[in-house]
Amino acid sequence: MDDEVTCPPFESNPDIIASFVSDLTECERWKCADIFSLDAESEQYLPGKAVAIFLLYPMNTTAIERNGRSDSPDEEILQQVVFIKQKMKNSCGPIAVMHALCNIIKDETLATSTSWMHNFLKNSRKFTPDERGQYLSKDRMFNQLCQVYGNSGDSEPLEPDANVLLHFVCYIEVDKRLYRLDGRKSGPEYLGPVVGNSFFATTMFHCKQFVDILLAEESSVEFNAIALCVVPS
């Protein structure tokens, strides 16, 4: 990670993430909502179909060790799943959002032809994960939006180079397979098939499993889950 390029840490706030996504895509079909309980029944309270889940959790040695079965990228998976290597310090929030958008957007119904996101997808189609990360770290508009939304929210903004103990990862479905995408790692982590054609329920199972690992180490754990949803046009 290039520590000379920094980003204000994103607050775990669905309104901030939804606005960030809308600015990147120029599309109003994106909605975000907090997930208050890691169970399948929580899906009924979402504003639309969940297409990605963002999990924010505290980084500690155990979490880092168990957050991936292997840090060796699988070339076959990298052909199917768009992955971005995090190059900017404290940019795990924006990178989690980019992981979601890059793997969900397939046409102009979710990102207009004039949007920044459309251009990024077109320009980065053949990039490696490292090249995508470098591109984002140097892109003026992306960095401007990161500054705007990193300094938004209810919490007092932190300095871009602050040592933040909380970390965002993204859960997505690609070809009925569930992946966890963490920009600190070398590639996507395959978690297993999506069970019962329910991305949300399968993701909640894996999120709860991961949080239980954290709770085994600490009596209480600060975490938050946010659903990225799509509503009909």
- Looking at residue 69, its pLDDT comes to 52
| Residue type (1 letter), 99 | H
Locate the domains of the chain by residue range.
2-230
2-6, 16-20, 190-194: lowest mean pLDDT where? Answer: 2-6
Catalytic: which of 92, 102, 146, 207? 92
Structure tokens at 12: 């775990």
Q: Which of 66, 99, 62 is nearest to 84 (CA)?
A: 99
The pLDDT of residue 218: 72
C-alpha to C-alpha distance for 124 and 126, rounded to whole angstroms: 6
Whether the per-residue pLDDT at 98 is higher than 90: the answer is yes
- Mean residue pLDDT across the chain: 90
For residue 83, give Cα distances in angstroms to 93, 124, 132, 195, 213.
14, 11, 8, 23, 25
Query: Does residue 167 carry a catalytic annotation?
Result: yes
Rounded CA-CA distance 177/159 in Å is: 37
Catalytic residue among 27, 102, 118, 167: 167
**Residue 159: per-residue pLDDT:** 67
Predicted confidence (pLDDT) at residue 109 exceeds the cutoff of 90: yes
- In CATH, what is the architecture of 2-230? 3-Layer(aba) Sandwich (3.40)
At 181-213, the pLDDT tens digits run 999 999 999 999 999 989 999 999 999 998 888
Q: What is the pLDDT of residue 94?
A: 98
Higher pLDDT, 221 or 141: 141
